[in-house]
Structure 1
Amino acid sequence: MYIQWKKIIITTLDLVLAFYLIMAVTSWNNPDENSQLCTKVDINISDANNAGFLTAGEIKHILEKDHLYPLNKKMESINPRSIEEALKVGPFVKTAQCFKTKNGHVKISITQRMPIIRIKSQHGSDFYLDDNGGILPNSKYTSDLIIATGNIDNNFAKSYIAPLAKTISASPFWLNQIEQINVLPDRGIELVPRVGDHIIFIGYLPYNRYKNTREREIKAFVTKKLSRLEKFYRYGLSQAGWNKYSYIDVEFDNQIVCKRRDSEAEKKEAEALKEEAKKKDSEVQQRTEEQEREKARKEVDQQEHTSDGPTE
């Protein structure tokens, strides 16, 4: 059989040349990691400027503590998986992703567990709950969150207070209005508003052993109570006065029970308001008298200056 050696040789040379070109282009586009150093670390944290615990500096500190911070290290020695695992150990990290780029950069993306309420129970516990009901340890976090106090254990906090707080937080109006949740010894729920000198009793959160059903029922229960209370705020308290009642009970669907403030307390408040108004009137009058005296003094000075002028 006749073998076309010339054709075989040419084909082989073409393949070798093509392989060489591919390897050359690859080497140009992918610098040798044996000599390339990490020149920049990009750390991106979700909600870093909103209400989170973490900062880029804290991420750097965590990695430095484990000798994993990649800056100025050889790219070949940097293991993205090790960085991810080290960050996921932190109690405030929800997810962590890390990857290397061809230009010597390392990019780290963090999503964090977001606190929605602070628990300070009568038993001495002090911690945060995230939006999934998970417990976050106490820290230097100082954001203006709702505080839950009273008869709260960890299970009640995760199973009942967390969905209650999520429902309140879903409404901008109630998120700004409610500053405290108090759990009574019998697990009744009181709300303490920012505006108005009164306490709100909404009743008892629905019990259910199944998480999804329980959370759905609590959301419906709280939404209904707050909707009725908002109407009472708009059409009741706005007319009667925000400080007329000391206790507002919306436990039952067909009525709102209000307890008037103590008559002596109302009298003292009225006297205090009257005294404050009198003080303001006195200050206004004093400023007016001082202005009149200053005006008169200027007029006298002007007349004296005119009389001392040159005469013909």
Structure 2
Amino acid sequence: MKRVLPYILSCILLVYLIIVLTFVATKLGEVTCRGVRIAVKNTDVNMFVDEEDIMKAIKKGYGDITNKSIMAVNKDSLERILVKNPMIKSAQVYYSLDGYIHVSIKQREPVLRVMTGEGYYVDSDGKVMPLSSKFTSRVVVATGDISKKYACEKLAPFVMSLRDDSFLDAYIEQLIVRSNEDIVMIPKVGDFRIILGKVENSRERLDKLILFLKNGIAKKGWNHYKEVNLKFDNQVVCVRK
């Protein structure tokens, strides 16, 4: 009997859920749409899309839905329509019995802006996203000899490693990529360039840079050098102005 009881309880729960879902679906079929409630997440960081953009997408796909059956808008279909927007990472749509369609939007998060050709962003998933005429994200800028493959597979992960370090995240403003894939970093403070080298296995060189900035350059002054080279083992090579 003890072995059978969990199975019986599971069956009862399944039947209950079916009854509840059937009841809710029936009720929703009788509900008239009163409007759409939209929530766009992480707008404190990025403002690529807003409520107006979402409403335009809904009207383009379904027309004016007010005072129509709330079920006239297919949730899955609307989610697919919304994520076609290159600035949207995910969309969740659901109905409520009070007559509202709820839309929750998560924007894509750029970590790098590449300024070659027409320019583009690379997001936190390592995917290319276009620049926006509505909003400019404050992220590290990269220039130079940059392919999209290199930007997505190597440069973006490197920038994300900089973001994980609060000091470097606040300090590095721009990356210049040379034809041999060596990286030159431009800081926000100090009139000099930092020669990093390749992005692979760069953690030790970055730690060396942090020590130099905190303990070395402060004694000489931020504008004493024109170049700081991290490519040599166990030392920082500086070129005076």
Instruction: Please give the range of the TM-score, normalised by the shorter of the 2 chains.
Output: 0.7 to 0.9
Aligned residue runs from structure 1 range 108-257, under 5 A = 108-121=103-116, 124-140=117-133, 141-206=135-200, 221-257=201-237
- Name whichever of 92-101 and 43-52 sits farther off: 43-52
Distance 1:148 1:73 in 2: 49
Distance 1:248 1:139 in 2: 35
CA RMSD of aligned residues (A): 2.2
Distance 2:71 2:128 in 1: 38
- Which SS does the other structure have where 1:107 is aligned? strand
- Which SS does the other structure have where 2:202 is aligned? helix
Work out whether residues 167 and 222 of structure 1, in 8 Å CA contact, stay in contact via their aligned partners in 2: no
Distance 2:125 2:28 in 1: 45
Point out 4+ residue stretches in structure 1 off by more than 4 angstroms.
29-32
Distance change >3 Å, CA 32–CA 167, structure 1 → 2: closer
The residue number in structure 2 matching 1:259 is: 239
Aligned residue runs from structure 1 range 278-297, under 5 A = none
Distance change >3 Å, CA 86–CA 234, structure 1 → 2: same
CA shift for structure 1 position 125: 4.2
CA shift for structure 1 position 52: 4.6
Distance 2:64 2:232 in 1: 58
CA shift for structure 1 position 31: 4.8
Distance 1:257 1:108 in 2: 55
- Which SS does the other structure have where 1:237 is aligned? helix
| Aligned partner letter, 1:135 | V
Q: Extract unaligned runs of 5+ from structure 1.
A: 1-21, 207-220, 262-312
- Name which of 1, 19, 33 aligns with 1:38: 33
- Which SS does the other structure have where 2:115 is aligned? strand
CA shift for structure 1 position 32: 6.8
The residue number in structure 2 matching 1:93 is: 88
The residue number in structure 2 matching 1:102 is: 97
CA shift for structure 1 position 253: 2.7
Work out whether residues 32 and 68 of structure 2, in 8 Å CA contact, stay in contact via their aligned partners in 1: yes
Work out whether residues 79 and 91 of structure 2, in 8 Å CA contact, stay in contact via their aligned partners in 1: yes
| Aligned partner letter, 2:157 | P
Distance change >3 Å, CA 201–CA 32, structure 1 → 2: closer
Distance change >3 Å, CA 109–CA 231, structure 1 → 2: same
Distance change >3 Å, CA 92–CA 38, structure 1 → 2: same
Q: Deviations over 1:21-46 (max 9, x none)?
A: x9xxx69x975734x32113121222
Distance 1:31 1:159 in 2: 49
CA shift for structure 1 position 113: 1.3
- Which SS does the other structure have where 2:223 is aligned? coil
Distance 2:91 2:85 in 1: 10
Q: Extract unaligned runs of 5+ from structure 2.
A: 1-18
Structure showing greater radius of gyration is 1
Distance 1:161 1:51 in 2: 21
| Aligned partner letter, 1:41 | V
The residue number in structure 1 matching 2:8 is: none
CA shift for structure 1 position 187: 1.2
Number of aligned positions between the proteins: 219
- Which SS does the other structure have where 2:42 is aligned? coil
Q: Which has the higher strand share?
A: 2
- Name which of 52, 59, 62 aligns with 2:57: 62
Q: Deviations over 1:61-80 (max 9, x none)?
A: 22222235644432232211
Work out whether residues 52 and 113 of structure 1, in 8 Å CA contact, stay in contact via their aligned partners in 2: no
Distance change >3 Å, CA 201–CA 38, structure 1 → 2: same
